[in-house]
Amino acid sequence: MTKKVPVFAVEDLHVWVGEKEVVRGVSLEVFPGEVHAIMGPNGSGKTTLVQAVMGHPAYTVEGKIFLNGEDVSALEPDEKARKGMFLAFQYPVAVPGVTVASFLRAAVAARRGQDVPVKEFRKELLSRMEQLEMDPAFAGRYLNDGFSGGEKKRLEILQLLMLQPVFAMLDETDSGLDIDALKVVASGINAAATPERGLLLVTHYQRLLNYVQPHVVHVFMNGKLVKTGGPELALQLEEKGYDWLEAQVGGGA
């Protein structure tokens, strides 16, 4: 029998910020069609983990990162993105002077390795925007410039749907969303959760997981994955908080 290859994997990943080790030996596999959630208290290193995987230059990284079985540890962030790795930012940056449409068309062309005809691109873009209940005029605005928190998060999901990555990490995509916006964003995430793709959701709360059902839930503390379970683990955390688990694992140290 052919061994199933994870769409994403890290092996014994360590991440330093300067002299401080923030991620301390994480190994993780996500298989095609799986949705994983990483939960944990503030300051536990969740954002550092996903940013380091994507290749943020502020971090020193040791360990292996695989995408569809290929070792991409040494690749630059744009090379990982072209191969199909995606990160939705917790705090997307504004880029005045660059419209949403022109940014997305350039990004889609880079991902697909060829230009997309304007008419074809516009049709696809408007369809995806309608899916996310976005005003078509949004395409002509400058990237994240003056956007509300909810608009920024919808744009991150619009990028996800347009770029069609093989593996996507979503860093606290639910933060700053009211309940209506949360449902729309969750609908977009569910649309992206195809049998071929892997998704990794970073979140503090159960509320996103009420709408996006994860297959696997991990708890991250002090730079380590300290517990892994099914969706019931997220419910347990929602009910009890993190203190009981921190006491159980000795703070994850």
Q: Give residue-wise pLDDT tens across range 69-104.
A: 999 999 999 999 999 999 999 889 999 999 999 999
- Inform me whether the pLDDT recorded for 3 exceeds 80: no
Under DSSP, the state recorded for 44 is S
Report d(CA 9, CA 4) in Å as an integer.
12
Per the listing, tokens 């994850």 go with 252
What does the longest C-alpha to C-alpha distance in the chain come to?
Answer: 58
For residue 122, the SS3 value is helix
**Per-residue confidence band for 118, with pLDDT thresholds at 50, 70 and 90:** very high
pLDDT at 188: 95
Mean pLDDT across the stretch 142-164? Answer: 94
Mean pLDDT of the chain: 93
Mean pLDDT across the stretch 187-195? Answer: 96
Strands (DSSP E) contained in 40-94 are 60-67, 70-71, 85-88
Q: Give residue-wise pLDDT tens across range 205-231.
A: 888 999 999 999 999 999 999 999 999
pLDDT at 212: 95
pLDDT at 36: 98
Which H helix or E strand runs over 168? Answer: strand 167-171
Which H helix or E strand runs over 14? Answer: strand 8-17
Report d(CA 233, CA 214) in Å as an integer.
11
Domains, the chain: 8-90+165-249 (3.40.50.300)
- Inform me whether the pLDDT recorded for 7 exceeds 50: yes
Report d(CA 222, CA 180) in Å as an integer.
33
pLDDT at 253: 41
**Per-residue confidence band for 1, with pLDDT thresholds at 50, 70 and 90:** low
